[in-house]
Amino acid sequence: MSEQPQVVEEWFLLPGAESGGMGTREAPWGSVEEALATLARRPGATLRDAAAGGRDVELVCLTDAGVPPPAAQAANHRLYIDPHATVAGNGTEAKPCQDWNEACQTLKNRLRTQQFRLAPGERLRFHVREAFTTTRFEMRKRRVETFARSVFLMMALLLVAPVLLILGYLVVQAWPVLTPAFLYTNPQDYMTTGGIWAPLIGTFLLVLLSLLIAAPIGVLAGVYLNEYAGQNWWTRMINLAVVNLAGVPSIVHALFGVGAFVLFAGMGRSLLAAACTVAVMTLPVIITSSREALAAVPMAFREACWNLGASRWQTIRTIVLPNSISGILTGVILQVARAAGETAPILFTGAVFFVPIADSGLPYWLPYNWDDRFMALSMHLFTLSTQVKDVGDEVKFGTAVVLIGLVLAVNSLSIGLRVYLRSHKRW
Amino acid sequence: MSPLKADSDVERSSAVGMTGDPPANSGSGLAVAGDPHRQRGGTTLLDRLEPVIEWIIRLCGWSAILFVFAIFLFVFLEGAPMLFGDLDLVEFFTSTNWRPDSEIRPQYGILALLVGTLSVTSLAMLIAVPLGLGAAVYVSEFAGGRIKETLKIVIELLAAIPSVVWGFIGYMVLGPILIWLTGAPIGINLLNGGIILALMSVPIIVSVSEDALRAVPDSYREAATALGASRWEVVYRVLFPAAKNGLLAAVLLGVGRAIGETMAVLMATGHAVQIPRSVMDPVRTLTATIAAELGETVAGDAHYQVLFVIGMVLFAVAFVVNLSADLVIKGIRGGRNE
């Protein structure tokens, strides 16, 4: 529905022209009164038809020289006619006239009382409002709406587009080194060339170890919070602790790791100490997502099981956990992605710039013991870009792309799993 | 799903009645202990260990509290000798002289670092809050179907990019771009760090504010629409006031994330201890200082302990920010239930 009807009939008048005009530009009418009288008299050709067809009619007052105002000029005066109006109006937008007769009458009255005058070069529009047509107020609202919508869209795109561009740029820059050999070759020549095998396997071991520590604790904590905890201040405290644990800065986790695992527990700077630190850091992710996954299992399942005489733990073991295992998995996978990317917590707890490892044999596949210092991919990226000189850009970009690729792949797995679950929900 | 294995272990029939401890609202009082069917329910070792397992679960549930206390305790213990010893707290918070390695008189003034953290965080929020809220409104109220899902997933993936990669992007990509755009001598500075931090904290702002907007009952939207409000008017006049606590919490969580961020600011802000005069000045933050200097210190010396004191400051700030975010969220939830 548009604001203005497509077809506008134009009739011309020239003040002072001799009577008997045709209303055309060549033979204009002499006054508004004559125009109205003529238009109302002429059968079939005029206002009534226009009203039926929803067409607007414009009276154009020619200037003294007989020139019409520019076609683009908005009408100077408007009379609104709404065939669906239920009460008589005065022709304004808020109170439209009911039909043409009323409009003409209103106009004549105003002309007589000199409230209205069509000056040369002005246009008078009889605006016929279609049923449910938009008022100008609504049009303004709609324009604001469109504007707001595009602004919000711009904001969303402004966030997403540059990042996608940057990621694309990283891949382009890294393209020369992105071969399988880059993955399975060790860093060489003081890390300036070669691949990323040692840090890659280090990250893998770190993630595995931290997962082994964090996953059982996190999932059981989720079980506790969803299945056992009552609605009391203690539960509230636990929830608060989870939220705060998630919000503790990563560097503070690193300090904690140094104080608790490296020094107090006597692990030294080692793979295990780093894994413990990362495990504590990623614990809230697992707790929160496990609890959500468990909460998604309908209460009726538990009640049915209890009614069969099963104890609470039996219910959890046989009903609740199997039904929520995939949801829990998505959280665990998210933990993996996060653990793989963390740098600050492992900076002082076990990861080091460079540990030479063998190029073949078992030490190649399993280079680090739990008490060894190790290389990690995230740390390696930091080292390459800020600590080592003369590293080819493509090696840095390659490392970055592999790290991003790894993290995004794991995340996509989690998202994919979630989408799959949502579409295959059985209850 | 086979809930109970068929297994003829009879001894358990009474044990279940004893240990079975379903909540009062479960209605399981109807299950009679002597029910013959129950004898067919199998017991395994896992069932007989129920009390032990329940205690393990309980302990794991409490672990979050344990860890929060442990973090506080260990950071505090390592820094305490300095905090209650040589450290001049007035100088610590008001001096801009950060000279921990000075042979003559080491000075530990973190004002410049504090200002660094605050300026980077504020700049990041200046960018991230409008964009994040806007994106959240678009995703929650305007976008539909496929666009909505795609945007949500992309923003979620944004959150997954590790901070060291963001630092790398600031260092290797955004830095040169800033030099090219402004002609500044160095590209890793306050502006760079602010932009990077903004991009990093946007996902959390978007997701939390989207949750907040979604939490507004649909009847609010319907009522406003029935009164003739357009989508934008619904957002502006109805949703923003109704979800303002959630939106505030989103901003707070974004601030928390930005303050605590380490690797990205370490690599992208230029690492100069000074109070910035323009956005093109390099700065250094509290987190970056710890990350850069802890490796150079010896466990137990003054510099090492001061870094732990900074850690305490960070922990406290993060704690306050997260606590207020939590209170703000819980506040509305409590209010709505009444």
| CATH code of residue B170 | 1.10.3720.10
Are B70 and A260 a contacting pair at CB < 8 A? yes
User: Is B251 part of a structural domain of the chain?
Assistant: yes
Torsion over CA: B324, B329, B334, B336 (sign): positive
User: Is B212 part of a structural domain of the chain?
Assistant: yes
Q: Is the pLDDT of residue A157 over 80?
A: yes
Nearest to A248 among B63, B151, B315 (CB): B315
Using one digit for the tens of pLDDT, what is the confidence trace for A48-71?
Answer: 555 555 667 788 888 877 777 777
Contacts of B77 in chain A (CB under 8 A): 259
Domains of chain A: 8-133 (no CATH), 178-423 (1.10.3720.10)
Using one digit for the tens of pLDDT, what is the confidence trace for B157-216?
Answer: 888 899 999 999 999 999 999 999 988 888 888 999 999 999 999 999 999 999 999 999
Lowest mean pLDDT segment, chosen from A134-138, A312-316, B55-59, B121-125: A134-138
User: Is B22 part of a structural domain of the chain?
Assistant: no
Q: Is the pLDDT of residue A44 over 90?
A: no
User: Is B122 part of a structural domain of the chain?
Assistant: yes
Using one digit for the tens of pLDDT, what is the confidence trace for A376-388?
Answer: 999 999 988 888 8
The predicted pLDDT at position B34 comes to 45
Distance CA A206, CA A202 (A): 6
Buried-state track A140-160, b at ≥16 Cβ within 10 A, e below 16: ebeeebeebbeebbebbebbb
The predicted pLDDT at position B122 comes to 95
Say which amino acid occupies B56: I
What does residue B32 show for φ and ψ, rounded to 5 degrees?
-90, 140
Decide: residue B10, CB within 10 A, 0-12 exposed, 13-18 middle, 19+ buried.
exposed
Residues facing residue A374 across a β-bridge = A351
% of chain A beyond a pLDDT of 70: 93
Mean pLDDT, rounded, of chain A: 84
Q: pLDDT-based confidence at B29, cuts 50/70/90?
A: very low
Tokens of A337: 């992605």
Are A238 and B21 a contacting pair at CB < 8 A? no
Residues facing residue B270 across a β-bridge = B283
User: Is B78 part of a structural domain of the chain?
Assistant: no
Tokens of B318: 């993060």
Lowest mean pLDDT segment, chosen from A8-22, A51-65, A237-251, B283-297: A51-65
Using one digit for the tens of pLDDT, what is the confidence trace for A255-270?
Answer: 999 999 999 998 888 9
Decide: residue A26, CB within 10 A, 0-12 exposed, 13-18 middle, 19+ buried.
exposed
Q: Is the pLDDT of residue A324 over 50?
A: yes
Lowest mean pLDDT segment, chosen from A68-72, A341-345, B22-26, B271-275: B22-26
Q: Is A188 helix (H, G, I), strand (E, B) or coil?
A: strand
Buried-state track A391-413, b at ≥16 Cβ within 10 A, e below 16: beebbbbbbbbbbbebbbebbbb
Contacts of A319 in chain B (CB under 8 A): 1, 3
The predicted pLDDT at position B69 comes to 94
Contacts of B155 in chain A (CB under 8 A): 159-160
User: Is B96 part of a structural domain of the chain?
Assistant: no
% of chain B beyond a pLDDT of 70: 85
Helix axes B244-260, A250-257, angle to 10 degrees: 50
Q: Is the pLDDT of residue B32 over 50?
A: no
Q: Is A79 helix (H, G, I), strand (E, B) or coil?
A: strand
Helices (H), B44-189: 45-48, 50-83, 89-94, 111-137, 145-160, 163-169, 175-182
CB A377 within 8 A of CB A402: yes
User: Is B59 part of a structural domain of the chain?
Assistant: no
Q: pLDDT-based confidence at B336, cuts 50/70/90?
A: very low
Angle among Cα A84, A90, A91 to the nearest 5 degrees reads: 65
Find the closest chain A residue to B308 by CA distance: A255
B164: contact with A, CB 8 A cutoff: yes
User: Is B66 part of a structural domain of the chain?
Assistant: no
The predicted pLDDT at position A1 comes to 38
% of chain B beyond a pLDDT of 90: 47
Using one digit for the tens of pLDDT, what is the confidence trace for B219-228?
Answer: 999 999 999 8
For chain B, how many structural domains are there in total?
1
Are A341 and B161 a contacting pair at CB < 8 A? yes
**Domain boundaries, position B127:** 110-337
Torsion over CA: A191, A192, A194, A199 (sign): positive
Helix/strand/coil (H, E, C) string of A327-381? HHHHHHHHHHHHHHHCCHHHHCCCECCCCCCCCCCHHHHCCCCCCCCECCHHHHH
Look at phi and psi of residue A44 and say left if phi exceeds 0, alpha if psi is from -120 to 50, else beta: left
